[in-house]
Amino acid sequence: MNTNQQLAIQNLPTEAAEDSTVIEPSRSFLVLDARSLWAYRELFYFLALRDIKVRYKQTFLGVAWVLLQPIATTLIFSILFMRLGQTETFGVQYPLFAFSGFVLWTFVNSAIITASNSLINHTGLITKIYFPRLIVPLAAVAANLLDFFIGLSSLAVAMVVFAAVPTWKILLAPLFLLQILVLTSAAGILLAALNVRFRDVKQLLPFALQLWLFASPVFYSLRLLPENLAWVWKLNPLTGILENFRAALFGQDFDFTGMTISVVMTIVIFVFALYVFRLMEDDFADVI
């Protein structure tokens, strides 16, 4: 073997290294790798759009299903509460009060269920190619935003029908919508990771969400509870969101204590969800 051949062989690893891509996990469990998520943004759009198309494919009522659940549930609870004499809450008629809560809850419920099953539903994709796995539950949550916007639009129409005059406080309502998006994403991320390892999550989730519904002031006001129990309800991050979102809509006083607790709890849950997801992410392809 001549000298030139020896040099060529020695240079092969270096040249190959220049043309290769090294995939390394993040060094921190608490760092959201925004660069990787942005690099795979087209996959994010594709997965979200695919979920939307699948949801409405071959449906007779189409997007009408988005409004059917909150409207039907509102009617049932309105009949019940109005028979009990509860006709006005937050300064508005009870049907509008309940509908404002069920619009938000419908998004939370649907998005969490979709996100929790997202990794399982994309087994073939996860086991074959590399991409940031966090995209999958986030895309599942994003796919529910269309339904959410339709629900919020119907809520605006309901406010007109019930002659609810908004004040300047309604300008703060998007802040609580942003918070509920972060909280829902955190819950979806956490449950998606746990569902890969523990398939019991899929069976327990509907029951857990039902308990969360009754533990949240979706169809009742926190003001109806005894004062010695109200602080327990405020530990639920959804309580501060619902109460202050309604206060923004209907021009009532904000609950700053509940708002602070809710924001802190949302941040804690989001950070914890990212930690658990990163901790389990490397094993997804092996155990899914």
CA angle 266, 185, 218 (to 5 degrees): 65
Global pTM value: 0.85
pLDDT band for position 16 (50/70/90)? very low
Question: What is the rounded average pLDDT for all residues in the chain?
Answer: 84
Q: What is the C-alpha separation between 245 and 254, in angstroms, rounded?
A: 9
pLDDT band for position 268 (50/70/90)? very high
Q: What is the C-alpha separation between 172 and 244, in angstroms, rounded?
A: 9
Q: Running DSSP on this structure, what letter comes out for residue 89?
A: E
**Three-state SS for 88?**
strand
Question: Given a cut of 50, is residue 218 above it in pLDDT?
Answer: yes
The one-letter amino acid code at 139 reads: A
- pLDDT at position 68 is 83
- pLDDT at position 4 is 43
pLDDT band for position 131 (50/70/90)? confident
